[in-house]
Structure 1
Amino acid sequence: MKAPPDIIDRVRLIRTPGIGPVTYRQLLLRFGSAEAALAAIPDLARRGGGKAPAIFPKSAADREFAAVEKAGARYLILGQGLYPRALAELESAPPLLTVIGRLALLEQPMVAIVGARNASAAACRFARGLAHDLSREGVAVVSGLARGIDSAALDGSIDSGTIAVIAGGVDVYYPPENEVRQKDVAERGLLVAEMPPGTEPRARHFPYRNRIIAGLAVGTVVIEAAPQSGSLITARLAAEAGREVMAVPGSPIDPRAQGCNQLIREGATLIQSAADVIECIGNLHGKLASPPNASEFRPGPERNEGEPEVLALVEALLGPSPAPVDEIVRLSGASPGAVQLALLELDLAGRLDRHAGNKVSLR
């Protein structure tokens, strides 16, 4: 199948060095299409005082599209109908997802189950039973396909509804011993990846994967997690996204339970059964599953003639410490559109860092 030009342009845009999900979204909001955004990048970077990034080649985007097809996968595109609506609410939502399997699962309420890789046998048994009971009630279970709790949750829900989010490409099996599980998910559940096919997972990819897990789900259940673990990062991301955080208590003398017990002390809902989870998430699924905004990527206004000095003003307000964009708009006195354009120029010039919570700093 010949690749649609719009998809190729979107692949080129998000794979261009220095363009992350937030910058991608800002470019499409301003220019309306990936093609127009690609054409605008050199001039934006020049106005920002830097050198334009090397645009991802069309030939490489064509090869990626072919690899996705060869793997039996397809793209889900941010701002279009099949893209998960709850995930689209995240500021850092992935512009492209690669998926294999049952897309109908994305229409069900989703709950993430995460926890320790070196989980106890009792915790794995509980995770497997909880996932089984939730999936039988029409709740799709989201996990990360890691060892321990993730694998147990997958095993419990595979018959009725499991979604596995992986850190590498859809055609890369990690950890290697989960190859059979990953193939099983692709056939009977839904496999989700942000990275292009052929990508071997690296340490930096796992926090990105965790935000997808938290973003897909209306709530996250943590079962055994040590302090500073990736599972607690997922729980924090879920809380920041306004989703429910739930935890299964454990023995105070087991280090693997310290993270869960701390979450409960901080306000997470204590979970002992699937009924507890269903009661906790309540009607949150309906609130998140609103129709996507059809006007999301219409072109924004250009900078007004009277605002040529906005770039210098914004640059003067920025420093090495992250500052909220809303505060930059307020202090500058310029229009939000003009400030966003100035930030885009600095970003594409390699002079801006974007942070969680819609904050920016000067590099």
Structure 2
Amino acid sequence: MEVVKVVTEAIQFICTVQFWRMAVLWTLSLIFSVFNLFSHKISKSKGYSRSSPQDIKSNAATLGRLPICVITGATSGLGAAAAHALSKEGFYVVLVGRSSELLSKVMSDIKSQNNDASLKAFQLDLSSLKSIIKFKSSIQQWLMDSNIHPSIQLLINNAGILATSCRITSEGYDQMMAINYVGAFCLTKVLLPLLENSPVPSRVVNVSSFTHWNVWKMQSDRKTVSGTRFMKSRCYPYAQIYEYSKLCLLLFSYELHRQVGQAEKSHHLSVVAVDPGAVKTNIMREVPSCISQMAYMVLDLLGLLQSPESGARSIVDGALAPPEISGVYFCGGNGCCLKSSVLSHNAKLAEDLWATSCYLFHELQLAS
């Protein structure tokens, strides 16, 4: 009976438009990204070099302590791999995630490989503004209790989910849009004073995806950004929502970069987006296991699948790029930057999305 149930679920999953959207369009956009990377290498275009250990030590000397890096979604996969890599680069890494048990496990794993790693963990549910505000209070209290400068140097918005069924947050939003985009926007907004207060250059790194190429038209109204527009759909369009959320992160990155460039007080704050590519993580945990395993096997045979450690290279590239680098899209490691989609560079759409996101942020603040 159990086998019949598994097979039935897999067949039902395959017989949906959203599955074929993932299977066909996501694969094509991934191949397109890989082709762009290959063209970049053929043209022998140089990528951006990383900051040297001396630069990080210099920042530490100025601060009187290690520069602080906050990473969301750090309980597994890319977040955990990036946390490990950046702890070795000389950052005091603050791991953020929903599960205290998984956070403790990741901290133990990192410590077992790097005993000198400086780590701190906080629980945070990105789908809830109350949780985000509580996190800000907690990290400020920790900084004060530790008698260290009230600032952070690096925020990596890495957390993301692929939900195959509609779930509504306590604040009435679609959970996938809430975690993948709205939560990242709100977290950046509340932590912006700590980033701007840094006496050394600070940075926001937003983890996007090659799937953003599949969005050709997008509205930036309240219903779309909050995801409530999709709740009435007969078949939950999870693939499209995921694509929207990753495009929103890019538009947000470029708009924040533009605003930072115009603000005198933020002259040392930079913003970059990154694309880790296809990485074997647990993001497909809601997809029937036989299908996700088959997908990973095919991607691996095509040479398109990476380990979390390899995928995290683009995140580390974005984190360690020189301070003057801002408003770019890192992809593929080795400091390589590519052009994201034409729609992601639509300045009017980015402005409208920013305005809508700010409206939602203030609405959530009032509700909290």
* TM-based fold match above 0.5: no
TM-score w.r.t. length of structure 2? 0.30
Q: Larger C-alpha radius of gyration, 1 or 2? A: 1
Which structure features the higher share of helix residues? 2
